[in-house]
Structure 1
Amino acid sequence: MKDLNDYRNKIDEIDEEIVKLFEERMKVVVGIAEYKIQNEIPILNEGRENEVIKKNQDRLENKELNNSLEEFYKSFMKISRNYQSEKINSWKKENQVENTLPATESNDMLQNKTSVVYQGVPGSYSYNALRKFFSLRYNLEDINKINVENFEDVFVTLKSEKVKYGILPLENSSTGGISDVYDLIRNHNFFIIGERKIKVEHNLLGIKGSKIEDIEEVYSHPQGIQQCKKYFDNYPHLKLIPYTNTAASAKYIKESNDIKKAAIASIDAKEIYDLDILSSNINYNENNYTRFVVISKDMELSNKADKVSVVLSVQHESGALYNVLKVFWKHKLNMLKIESRPIEDTPWEYFFYIDFQGNIKDNLVKNAVEEMRNESSYFKVLGNYEAHS
């Protein structure tokens, strides 16, 4: 019969082989990290991780070890992800594109004439938010305003070296977050550098001489239609038709010159396109605000920045999200918002978008961000900027 030392010697031999294989595997992990940063691929691929676990469970001869092997590989792959994250962050620092530090730092964001892209046409709420945000920084005549048809066009246009900023609606106080914009910000790897809240007052607009009794069709952005749903419950015969933008719908009504058509849009759109107001302030929430964010290819910080936005995902296991959220309690940070979005190709798992108060220059905030990063499968700082109250 073998004594205890014999068993321990055997384990030492096995451990020696495990260490060699561990080092060899981590070298491959570094190669994968290099590929991911070059191709802008998230660290976490849960589909691949589940595949690895299943494949190795199938190799087991002793099926009683199935659950233990699963736990082993989950821990092992978390170590690999953390190592990849360390390597990627190190490379980013070397190239001065670290997510938690500014690529450019200035108290005056804009010194020279620059281009800003927005979705819609003059008279849209995006156009209004653009004017209000940038008018605080310099003469609006010095801005080259570029309008595009849809949200994704803003990101495509912003990739041009000649365009520095984009502005987009991110959430509405009545209808919640605009999911397409959340996904686009993450997918296109841009940063939030500012925000502006605009009070939304929708009006029903028609061509000169039209009356509400004449109207059969109403055009507007889906958010605009949704925010006025209670008003249109009183007019069930009206056909509500989604359009690319509130102001674009007003422009369409002007061009169509059809007494049977109307648009949901702003007072600005009414003035620009010379339309009549058939009914004013028709949104059901009188305190209806939309929060717009200004995005850029580069992250910017200032001493006035007091709001941080991050996106993250966690392992689909008990306590994983709690481990992230407890960081706010630990560091006494005020979380302003949390919103979830589905992870494509991974049913019932989510990205979490979180806003909280703080400035990344503050060591307490910086440490909290690093703790959240370490508890996450995927993590990115979307921006640190001055909140608009």
Structure 2
Amino acid sequence: MRDLGDIRVEIDQVDKEILNLFNKRMELACQVAEYKIATGKKVYDKEREDAKLEKLSSYVDDDFSEQAVKELYTQIMSISRKKQFAILQERGVSFDTGFTQVDNFDFSDAIVCFQGVQGAYSQLAMLAFFDDEMKDSFHVDLWRDAMEAISTGKADYAVLPIENSLAGSIEENFDLLSEYNVAIIGEQILKVDHALLGVKGATINDIKTVYSHPKAIAQCENYIRKYHIDWDVKNLRNTAMSAQKIQDDGDKTQAAIGSKYNAVLYNLDILEESIQDDKNNETRFIIVSKDKKYKKSADKISLCLEISHEPGSLYRILSNLIFNGINMNRIESRPIKGVNWQYRFFIDIDGNLNDEAVRNALTGLKEECVSIRVLGNY
């Protein structure tokens, strides 16, 4: 048996030889980049890479080594592409995001819409984000109506919930972001504090039917199951609409789950406060516009990607973030309509569209994705 120290010395020597060859390969990759810049050819050549992997793996004679060779050279070619993308970026060949940088936003003439009736959490998020800067606001029935309002120019901005810390994502709004050509220009985190609201003089013992938005009901599921399993729980479009219904019906056996603000707005009694299961419950709202602008101080980027439906494609795409040192803090998948079992990815990353690392990563993503869209930098 050979001495371990002797073996390691030999491994170190082999590693040096590998590194020398790797450096030579990267020099050749730079020459390839210069050629592709001059000729306008794309960096990512899938057919060439697939053929190369098949040829290299044919040089070994067992299944383990074949897979190992494919993994190794998939990484090497991925690194090579990242180097070429960086060179393209240096030469001014980059992905045009369509966004314009501004120092700040002027909301003094802004008209803002939100989904739901007066008192909806979307309205509270709107008031928190815009404060007193906006000119006017109005509400719409559906989230799609809000998208239509900014697309047609009836509103300058719309406020939409996108995810809740307890109940998860608002899937419909992710689909709407992919459907409408709009931009996210900001976000507002709103603490969700649900109360049980009834008509004046009602008590909890009177209640038989409770109305609210499905997500709000989900956020109070443990409370309902533990204390009031006999309630008939029904869905409505939003919490404020539920409170409005309780006021309109005037029925002591009905209650709504909504914010305490709705009790004042619709002249209701608060039968119980803070009934949400998670007392740290928060909802993230996005502010969208048809104008693609971002502030110089923006530090979060939202992307929408479609990638090829094949093994390793998501890993290959995300490597553009890894090699550029970019942190991904969220990923969400949604089915692509009309194509069974294929998905669109929504990704949030840290950074600004003016950052060199971000520009490098976007250049690579543009080449390697089936499609990519920057949803916003905020």
TM-score, normalised via structure 2 length:
0.73
Q: Which runs of 4+ in 1 moved over 4 A?
A: none
Displacement of 1:111 in angstroms is 4.8
Equivalent residue runs for 1:54-93 within 5 Å = none
CA root-mean-square deviation: 1.3
Aligned to 2:115: 119
Separation in structure 1 between the aligned mates of residue 243 and residue 165 of structure 2, nearest angstrom: 23
Aligned to 1:21: none
Question: Contact 2:107–2:135 at 8 Å: present in 1 too?
Answer: no
> Quick check: 1:182 aligned with 2:179?
no
Aligned to 2:129: 133
Equivalent residue runs for 1:1-389 within 5 Å = 100-103=97-100, 105-135=101-131, 139-140=132-133, 142-234=134-226, 235-385=228-378
Which structure 1 segments of 5+ residues have no match?
Answer: 1-97
Which structure 2 segments of 5+ residues have no match?
Answer: 1-94
Separation in structure 1 between the aligned mates of residue 205 and residue 376 of structure 2, nearest angstrom: 48
Displacement of 1:373 in angstroms is 1.8
Identity of aligned residues (%): 39
Displacement of 1:106 in angstroms is 2.6
What is the DSSP-based 3-state SS (H/G/I as helix, E as strand, rest coil) of the residue aligned with 2:126? Answer: helix
Separation in structure 1 between the aligned mates of residue 140 and residue 339 of structure 2, nearest angstrom: 32
Separation in structure 2 between the aligned mates of residue 173 and residue 243 of structure 1, nearest angstrom: 21
Separation in structure 2 between the aligned mates of residue 369 and residue 199 of structure 1, nearest angstrom: 33
What code does the residue aligned with 1:324 have? I
What is the DSSP-based 3-state SS (H/G/I as helix, E as strand, rest coil) of the residue aligned with 1:283? Answer: coil
Deviations 1:25-51 (A, max 9, x none): xxxxxxxxxxxxxxxxxxxxxxxxxxx
1:99 to 1:264, Cα distance in 2 relative to 1, 3 A: farther
What is the DSSP-based 3-state SS (H/G/I as helix, E as strand, rest coil) of the residue aligned with 2:237? Answer: coil
What is the DSSP-based 3-state SS (H/G/I as helix, E as strand, rest coil) of the residue aligned with 1:233? Answer: helix
Question: Contact 1:114–1:144 at 8 Å: present in 2 too?
Answer: yes
Separation in structure 2 between the aligned mates of residue 164 and residue 107 of structure 1, nearest angstrom: 18
Separation in structure 1 between the aligned mates of residue 185 and residue 295 of structure 2, nearest angstrom: 10
Deviations 1:230-269 (A, max 9, x none): 1110312111111111011111111111101100000111
TM-score, normalised via structure 1 length:
0.71
What code does the residue aligned with 1:250 have? A
Question: Contact 1:99–1:381 at 8 Å: present in 2 too?
Answer: no
Separation in structure 1 between the aligned mates of residue 216 and residue 272 of structure 2, nearest angstrom: 14
Aligned length: 283
Separation in structure 2 between the aligned mates of residue 161 and residue 279 of structure 1, nearest angstrom: 41
Displacement of 1:162 in angstroms is 3.8
1:265 to 1:99, Cα distance in 2 relative to 1, 3 A: farther
Separation in structure 1 between the aligned mates of residue 105 and residue 324 of structure 2, nearest angstrom: 30
Separation in structure 2 between the aligned mates of residue 215 and residue 377 of structure 1, nearest angstrom: 53
What code does the residue aligned with 1:109 have? F
What code does the residue aligned with 1:267 have? K
Deviations 1:300-352 (A, max 9, x none): 11111000000111111111111111112101111010011011121111101
